[in-house]
């Protein structure tokens, strides 16, 4: 035998290979098409008929022409409260796991805790919030309850993205800091965190985007109604958010233009989530490009 000969077996293998390659590309194209078609459907149904006053007008129970003012405000307000609680704790926990945690059984236990907490279904956090705020403290369904429960849901994810971001910082620059006689915290504050900041901000944006659209927790802890006023900063008013409102108008509302409201609410919801995901990361991306990375 000299060299390779093209047998029946190799011919079949090559044909399968070509078919499979075509198959994989087709699959990829179909999935991408599905995703873009989905985004297009949501946005094109709602955005063209969207008027600015829809975003600030009060919701209506009986008449057509209601807006989403209070629920949109509540969405941002609850998101703000939840981030206010979860960012310091989540980032602190992430820093501990990446910088301080010694390699022993105790740390292993902590790690299991974080993983277990991040696997808890959101509906369970809803039940927890309900048990704490509606039953234990007896304040009913409130913005505060929604914000705190949402914060609990965010915590493990924030801890994980922070830990990953900080672990990705090269060890040499830490050592350079220690060599100058800096304390551990001083190194973390002035060297490690600034380097890891873009990754941390990206993670926080992902978490915030998810929290903005979260509904199972909010339904159980903040309720299905609003106080009916715009700019209601009272922590103890009921706090229906935009995501919950979308569910409400789809399933229970009796207004005649429920379908239009749902279309527009969904478009606004997706638009804001995309905005949170991209707008906040854009300056960082720009900065990276300028630095030539």
Partner 1 sequence: MGAPVHNLASRVKGSVTEVTADSKRHGRHLLSNTIFKYYFLFSILALCFVLGLVIIFIGKTALLLFGHISPADFFLSFNWTPEDEAFGAAAFIVNTLSLTAITLLIAVPISVGMAVLCAEIAPVWMKTFIRPVLDLLVGIPSIVYGYLGLTVLLPFLRQISGQSLGDGLLAAALVLALMVLPTICRISDDAIVSVPRKYRDAAYALGSTRLQVIMRVVLPAASRGIISAVILGMTRAVGETMAVVMVIGNTPQLAKTLFTPTSVLTSNIVMQISNVEFDSTWNYALHMMAFLLLIISFVLILIIRILGRKRRDAA
Site for partner 1, residues 195 to 254, rule: CB under 8 A: 206, 209-210, 212-216, 219-220, 224, 243-244, 246-247, 250-251
Check residue 271 for interaction with partner 1 (CB under 8 A): no
Check residue 288 for interaction with partner 1 (CB under 8 A): no
The residue range among 60-68, 227-235, 269-277, 282-290 that interacts with partner 1, by the rule CB under 8 A, is 269-277
Contact status, residue 143 vs residue 77, Cβ threshold 8 Å: yes
Contact status, residue 205 vs residue 281, Cβ threshold 8 Å: yes
Q: Going residue by residue from 44 to 83, which x/- string records binding to partner 1, judged by CB under 8 A?
A: ----------------------------------------
Say which DSSP state 252 is in.
T
Two tokens, residue 201: 């901000």
Check residue 181 for interaction with partner 1 (CB under 8 A): yes
The residue range among 56-64, 185-193, 229-237, 282-290 that interacts with partner 1, by the rule CB under 8 A, is 185-193
Check residue 133 for interaction with partner 1 (CB under 8 A): no
Q: Identify the CA nearest to 211 among candidates 77, 115, 93, 113.
A: 77
Task: Give the binding-site size for partner 1 (rule: CB under 8 A).
Answer: 91
Interface pick for partner 1 out of 50, 56, 139, 182 (rule CB under 8 A): 182
Report how far residue 280's alpha carbon sits from residue 202's, in angstroms, rounded to the nearest whole number.
8
Interface pick for partner 1 out of 132, 195, 235, 284 (rule CB under 8 A): 132
Judged by CB, which is closer to partner 1: 189, or 229?
189
Report how far residue 271's alpha carbon sits from residue 246's, in angstroms, rounded to the nearest whole number.
14
Interface pick for partner 1 out of 102, 119, 252, 289 (rule CB under 8 A): 119
Check residue 284 for interaction with partner 1 (CB under 8 A): no
Tell me the closest approach of the beta carbon of residue 236 to partner 1, in angstroms.
Answer: 19
Check residue 103 for interaction with partner 1 (CB under 8 A): no
Distances (CA, A) of 21 to 24, 109, 156: 5, 44, 39
Residue 229: partners with Cβ closer than 8 Å, 6 or more residues away: 58, 70
Strand partners, 226: 239
- What 189-193 contacts at long range (C-beta under 8 Å, 24+ apart), as own/partner pairs, is 192/99, 192/166, 193/95, 193/166
Interface pick for partner 1 out of 69, 126, 146, 203 (rule CB under 8 A): 126
Tell me the closest approach of the beta carbon of residue 276 to partner 1, in angstroms.
Answer: 8
Q: What is the CA radius of gyration of the chain?
A: 25
Check residue 35 for interaction with partner 1 (CB under 8 A): yes
Concatenating the DSSP letter of every residue in 135-146 gives: IIS---S-HHHH
Judged by CB, which is closer to partner 1: 30, or 229?
30
Q: Identify the CA nearest to 227 among candidates 245, 239, 215, 242.
A: 239
Tell me the closest approach of the beta carbon of residue 77 to partner 1, in angstroms.
Answer: 17
Q: Which sign, positive or negative, has the C-alpha torsion 266, 243, 239, 161?
A: negative
Check residue 100 for interaction with partner 1 (CB under 8 A): yes
Check residue 180 for interaction with partner 1 (CB under 8 A): yes
Two tokens, residue 282: 């854009």
Interface pick for partner 1 out of 48, 65, 92, 194 (rule CB under 8 A): 92
């Amino acid at each position: 035998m000299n060299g390779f000969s093209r047998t029946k077996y190799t011919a079949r293998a090559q044909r399968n290979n070509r078919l499979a390659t075509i198959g994989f590309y087709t699959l990829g194209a179909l999935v991408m098409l599905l995703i873009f078609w989905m985004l297009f459907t949501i946005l094109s149904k709602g955005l063209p008929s969207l008027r600015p006053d829809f975003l600030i007008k009060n919701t209506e129970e009986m008449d057509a022409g209601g807006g989403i003012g209070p629920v949109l405000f509540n969405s941002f307000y609850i998101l703000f409260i939840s981030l206010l609680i979860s960012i310091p704790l989540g980032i602190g926990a992430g820093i501990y796991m990446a910088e301080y945690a010694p390699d022993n059984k105790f740390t292993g236990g902590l790690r299991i805790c974080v993983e277990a907490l991040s696997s808890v279904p959101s509906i369970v956090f809803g039940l927890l919030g309900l048990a704490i705020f509606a039953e234990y403290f007896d304040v009913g369904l409130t913005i505060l309850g929604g914000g705190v429960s949402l914060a609990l849901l965010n915590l493990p994810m924030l801890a994980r993205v922070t830990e990953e971001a900080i672990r990705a910082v090269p060890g040499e620059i830490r050592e350079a800091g220690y060599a100058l006689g800096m304390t551990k915290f001083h190194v973390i504050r002035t060297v490690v965190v600034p380097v890891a900041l873009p990754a941390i901000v990206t993670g926080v944006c992902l978490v915030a985007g998810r929290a903005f659209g979260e509904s199972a927790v909010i339904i159980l802890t903040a309720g299905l109604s609003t106080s009916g006023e715009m700019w209601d900063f009272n922590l103890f008013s009921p706090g229906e958010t935009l995501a919950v409102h979308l569910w409400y108008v789809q399933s229970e509302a009796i207004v005649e233009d429920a379908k239009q409201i749902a279309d527009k609410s969904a478009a606004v919801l997706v638009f804001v989530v995309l905005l949170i995901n991209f707008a906040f990361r854009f300056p960082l991306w720009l900065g990276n490009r300028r630095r030539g990375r």
